[in-house]
Chains A and B, each alone.
Chain A
Amino acid sequence: MNSPFAWFKWQAVFRDYNIFFEGFLTTLEVAVLGLALSLILGVVFGVLSTSKLKIFKIISRIYVEIIQNTPLVIQIFFLFNGLPYIKVILPVFLIGVLGVGFYHGAYIAEVVRTGITSTPKGQFEAAKSQGFSYTQTMRYIILPQTIKIIIPPLTNQLVNLIKNTSVLAMIAGGDLMYRTDSWSSSNMYYGPAYAISGLLYFIMCYPLARFARKLELKEKKEKTTVSETSMEGLSVATEGGL
């Protein structure tokens, strides 16, 4: 018996490095396109959920709740196994993009919604009093501020999106997870294959996770300094008043 991490198994991984590299690229492609789709969906539904029209609110609520409360695997299987029954056959790559795009779109919609609702109401009123229309208020005043607040949670969503592209392995999607799984089950060299694949995922996700944490800490610091200075201002004001 040799160990699951025997040296010759590592050699085999490095010999077939192009298989892992191709999977890595596919995963990146799916992630980038999926991110683009989920951002579009997230912004549209996030903005709709704060609109005054009830019908828009209901539509975005339904989208968010259905997607967030059912497994991604089922959604992907539906696209892969279900749609062909009504003569809609999509390539697996597209299924990956649509699957993670719609799934994370729902999460991003919630992030966007929280960002918008955390903007003080006075800003909406001020914009309105200056004659801005609803779209103009959103475009020039609310969304630019929202972006700053939501970048950290958005980056976390991106990390999850990258990780979730691995669902493609379940429909032979050609991504990194699928290549790892099929390569290692053909020769049983599981140990090094999963180690390398894990490392590649880590390389994609870790810098993003760090970036998000850095921004979060910076924001927290700013907030505390702002509140401290305002507290100072307050005490000065009371002192002056007294």
Chain B
Amino acid sequence: MSQVFNQTTLLFLLNGMKLTLIIALVSIALSMFFGTILAVLRNFSNGILGKIATIYIEIFRNTPLLLWILAIRFLVPIPPMYSGILSFTLFTSAVMAEILRGGMNSVSKGQYEAAYSQGFSKFQTLKYIILPQSFRSCIPTFLSQGVTVIKDTSFLWAVGIEEFTGKGMILMGSFASSYQVFLLFGTIAATYFVINFAISCSVRTIKTAY
């Protein structure tokens, strides 16, 4: 009976966690950027761009993430990690856009009027007045979405991207006793839990601070 935890297996898992975090963090950063553009377009452009943003958001909000993970992996010829980042960015941008739109809609109309009366252009009003406030009020929701992204990176195992879940499942294949398998399941779940629970707790702290 081999040991479940030794230097090799731990390093193996750690590598998976590294990939999980890289994909999650890069995707979150990119999605916040593209999400902001989408939100602004949907809220402030009456033309074709606004329509495109709306259609984009609705499509991605109403189809499963796994569909995009599979479709991107099979249809776009890029290395696995980039394929993961691309699918998460496409999907999460729509989510981030809707979160930010909620924040933007809660900024009172008077602020726009005040800014315009001071001679701010539409773009300046957004950049200096509306967006900073919206971002601040959205921080807790963005963080919760971060938890969701970290959890959902485990879907990437469906296309063989060896992130944390993938590494865990590969490792599990080399053990046969129920004790070892349950120990490994417990470890994987606990690792996700520690990371996400820490974020969830900080969300709660920030919310009460507001």
Contact = CB atoms under 8 A, between A and B. Distances in A.
A167 B155 contact: yes
Interface in B64-103: 64-67, 70-71, 74-75
Interface of A: 4, 65-66, 68-74, 77-78, 81-82, 85-86, 159, 163-167, 169-170, 177, 180-181, 184-185, 190-191, 194, 197-198, 201-202, 205-206, 209
Contacts, number: 114
A159 B98 CA distance: 15
Contacts of A206: 58, 62
Which residue, of A69, A86, A184, has the highest number of chain B Cβ atoms within 10 A? Answer: A69
Interface string B157-201: 110000001000100100001100110010011001100110010
Contact of A73 (B63, B147, B155, B197): B155
A74 B200 contact: no
B59 interface: yes
B154 A74 contact: yes
Given A85-B182, A190-B75, A202-B62, A71 B70 contact: no
Interface residues of B, number: 36
A163 B65 contact: yes
A159 B62 CA distance: 7
Contact of B158 (A66, A85, A170): A170
Contact of B172 (A81, A169, A185): A81
Which residue, of A72, A177, A194, A206, has the highest number of chain B Cβ atoms within 10 A? Answer: A194
A163 B62 CA distance: 8
B113 interface: no
Given A69-B193, A190-B71, A194-B70, A74 B65 contact: no
Chain A at the B interface: SS class: helix
A110 to B, nearest CB: 11
Given A65-B200, A69-B200, A166 B64 contact: yes
10 contacts: A69-B192, A70-B192, A73-B155, A77-B185, A85-B177, A167-B66, A181-B70, A191-B75, A194-B71, A209-B58
Contacts of A167: 66, 155
B182 A82 contact: yes
Contact of B67 (A77, A170, A177, A209): A177
B196 A166 contact: no
Nearest to B73: A190
